[in-house]
Structure 1
Amino acid sequence: MKQLLLLITSILIVSSCTEKMDVELDSTYTRLSVEAKITTDFKKHFVKLSESSDVFFNQDAIPVTNATIQVNDGTSNFSFEETSPGYYESSTEFSGIPGKTYFLSILNVDLHHNGKLESYEAQSLMPYPHKVDSIAMNYDDNYRNEGNDNKEYWLLSLYLKDNKENEDYYGFACQINNVLVHDTITEVVIAEDTFFNGEASKGVEVGFFDQEKPDEIIRNNDLITLETYALTEDYLDFVNELQFMDMEQIPLFSGPPANIRTNISNNAIGFFAVYSITRTSTIVKVE
């Protein structure tokens, strides 16, 4: 278990830290920053566009407006509408279909405000969802966390049979009473199946509830839900690179640094993420 945890990294969304962080970017020109996600959830999906340059990352990025955005899965075409500056939602609700490749098209981008319109493309395959057998919650009043502090934690253990035919890539986040509490870069966990490829996991710890954090306190009869993400290898690699940029200091809307990988064309930064979600729940009994 401890070996697996060495591979665990943290992904997604943002931290609440507001300390200035001077990150080295390519200062020769502004680039398009893209955050785009398609999942198996039936909802309106989003694409977020902004400008990226070598600025202190506690400043809000400049939104990129008036773009034309479409997503195609080879059968259906989904148009996106700008609902706020730089934020685009699909005009209809839909759910991604595992096994299909999704194509993102971003047109009519006047990034340099000179009337010259640019276009960007990306594609990603949606993996099939992971099948989870069960989850369990365990209390530890002296758990040693990543900061080498011994603290009071509730730990969520995962039980599943890994698919030996594939190299699988996992992401994990937790809800308490239908509220996603592990939604920051430092809280959402990802892992490869290196240590249980084709085997049954026997209670791998993938959820961590710090009882000193108000939004993570566990009470009797709380409904705990594990979100298990089926990621592509490319997205896992992208996320791993984000970890090394000390992303816990980067606040909302800042966009990723320019020297990590991307699947967006035309020298953009960011990622078009496509993944399946499996949700598994349990009721906590506090003695």
Structure 2
Amino acid sequence: MSLQLDSNGRLHHLLTLDGLPKETLCRLLDRAGQIRDAALGRTHKRDSLVGTTICTLFFEPSTRTRSSFQIAAQRLGADVVNFDASTSSARKGETALDTMRNLEAMGVRGFVVRHPEDGAAEMLAEHTGEGTTVINAGDGRSAHPTQGLLDMLTVRQAKGPDFSRLKFLIVGDVKHSRVARSDLHALHTLGAGEVRVCGPDALLPGDGTLAGCEVGADFDAMLEGVDVVMMLRLQRERMEEGLVASLDDYHRDYGLTAARLRRAAPDAVVLHPGPINRGVEMTDEVADGPWSLVLRQVSNGVAVRMAVLETLLA
């Protein structure tokens, strides 16, 4: 945790929400809420990062996360370098660390890192020079802190800041989901009243991740009375591993339909980190219906990432 915070308790890197002080987490959410209009282009661009160069250092494909970080940086006045491992010297065997060091030598001061290996962002942060910061944009199955923040901001806008009165349900492939882990870390920090987790046994972790949660496999029963339903993407490679029998079976047991959603609280809301497998995790009626906050999550992603970049680099 000390790697994230400097000696004065100021955020230096953002690698995980696990153990992040509640005050720091809330400060980021407050800031994102304040600059949301600027994030959506409704006001003039800010100039807090003029003269700063930021690199999106991605070793995995991404649409929403990379684009929103790029938009966020540009709306703060920063210069952005987009690194794509598929067209870089990484294909020639250059390590992620050497890549970062070379870009750092060119004056890049902020690295937004996505990597398939657990702990990759932390490893890079350990080797940065003074004044350089690393933001984890998703590493392995460990963490996706800005997704966790934007999910919390979305819930906060819909339900208010007091999470202690809310019941949350996380559904699907929690075992392999870095989003689920960051959401769980944030929910525990913010004092969520009740956190339920539902999914097939093969897709639920057995490593202590779900400590403090109510866990069950009966989706209909777990939906009863919840205020927030957080659906997860079914990673289709899990079918190849034999962890899911078929898409039809998964949808039958864990797909969210409008009829099923009636078991939740009358004003329940639905989140999904995207991309949605329509007809698998949820029907079109739910994804596009009045319960869905999916597009609000996407727009909040720019605001959250602006808040993070400004906090770390301004």
| TM-score, structure 2 as length reference | 0.24
Q: When you count helix as a share of all residues, which structure comes out higher?
A: 2
Q: When you count strand as a share of all residues, which structure comes out higher?
A: 1
